[in-house]
Amino acid sequence: MRKVVLVPGDGIGPEITSAATRVVEASGAKIQWERVDAGAKVMQEIGRPIPPRFFEWAIETGVVLKGPTPIGEGFRSVNVAIRQRLNLYASVRIAKSIPGVKALHDNVDLVIVRENTEGLYSGVERESSYGAVESVKITSVEASRRIGKFAFDYAVANGRKEVSAVHKANILKKGDGLFLRSVAEVAADYPNIRFSDFLIDNAAFQLIVDPSQFDVIVTQNLYGDIISEMCGALIGGLALLPGANFGENLALFEAAHGSAPSIAGKGTANPAGIILSAAWMLDYIGMAREGERVRKAVHKVLGDGKKLTPDMGGRATTEDFTDAVIDAMS
């Protein structure tokens, strides 16, 4: 029995994480869920959005499955706080076309590796004068080389052929220039993996025109956030994008989308992303057979198109979709 910390989250989080745990259990994976609530409701109850035991259990178990949490008023982003406290320095999103799913492109197969601890998401801001605010973008050699090495190691481990650095070094010559130089230095240690670089605006254009020219993208926090959303649109929806955050001996798996409070409790949320993230989690903890069962079942249901949730043009409920995935596994 493998222990996994489960954070249901807010909004649609409890509904979709419940769907994910049902599917994981139906796959035959032996998981002991250690539930910890975090987010806006917890903030109201205990005066902080993340209870201390979450960090203790996350470090102890080394793996977390997390539902979406909102950007609350009056407290720091739960996602950013968790990533920085646990040093989950690499955010990874997998964008891959699913046969049968209506999308802008049917030839998408790329990975976004995003530096998680620096950049504008460091949250360093100050008022410099009346009516003006400075937001500090932090870039270090250490973090840039670390995320570059992660991207190249991922490419090697997963049979990828090219890593592309995305930046704006023509304008941000010091910060983005440092990032680009650092990743290029790492690239020299991987002669069998091609290295290229794109300006962020050109990368966005090229992704829309022909996403097949990208394999692994490595970039800083804000750029990676934007590109991830774009790639969700390319494959048919953000709810189809599995995600994970990696640190040293610790990984947190989550869907790429937010908590969608407007549809919370209506039973219409699409759980595909969190279920695919859970399948990735199973791969990570050595249950690859069960993970592949889950992934194939989700792809089958999405491709059949008979049990799609409203965000994908269907009428199925969250429970309908989940039941269909479980049926597909059997």
Assigned fold of 104-235: Isopropylmalate Dehydrogenase (3.40.718)
Look up residue 168 and give its DSSP letter.
-
In Å, the largest CA–CA distance within the chain is 64
What CATH class is the domain 1-96+238-330? alpha beta
Q: At what angle do helices 200-209 and 221-235 cross, to 10 degrees?
A: 10
pLDDT of residue 124: 85
Distance of alpha carbon 69 from alpha carbon 81, whole angstroms: 12
Say if CB 203 and CB 256 are below 8 A apart. no
Domain ranges of the chain: 1-96+238-330, 104-235
pLDDT of residue 76: 57
pLDDT of residue 317: 97
Q: Which residues, including other chains, have CB under 8 Å from residue 203's CB and lie 6 or more apart?
A: 164, 166, 214, 217, 223, 227
Handedness of CA 183, 211, 282, 79 (dihedral sign): positive
pLDDT of residue 137: 94
pLDDT of residue 71: 63
Domains 1-96+238-330 and 104-235 share a fold: yes
Three-state DSSP state, 82:
helix
Distance of alpha carbon 215 from alpha carbon 217, whole angstroms: 7
For residue 318, give both structure tokens.
Answer: 């969250």
pLDDT of residue 229: 93
pLDDT of residue 259: 84
Quickly list DSSP for 222-248.
HHHHHHHHHHHHHHT-GGG-EEEEEET
For residue 277, give both structure tokens.
Answer: 């993230």
- Tens-digit pLDDT string for the chain (330 aa): 999 999 998 899 999 999 999 999 999 999 999 999 887 777 777 777 788 889 999 999 999 999 998 765 555 577 878 888 899 999 999 999 999 999 999 999 999 999 999 998 877 888 887 889 999 999 999 999 999 999 999 999 999 999 999 999 999 999 999 999 999 999 999 999 999 999 999 999 999 999 999 999 999 999 999 999 999 999 999 999 999 999 999 999 998 888 888 999 999 999 999 999 999 999 999 999 999 999 999 999 999 999 999 999 999 999 999 999 999 998
For residue 232, give both structure tokens.
Answer: 């969700």
Say if CB 158 and CB 152 are below 8 A apart. no
Distance of alpha carbon 20 from alpha carbon 4, whole angstroms: 13
pLDDT of residue 180: 98
Closest CA to 166 of 93, 115, 223, 94: 223
Distance of alpha carbon 62 from alpha carbon 70, whole angstroms: 24
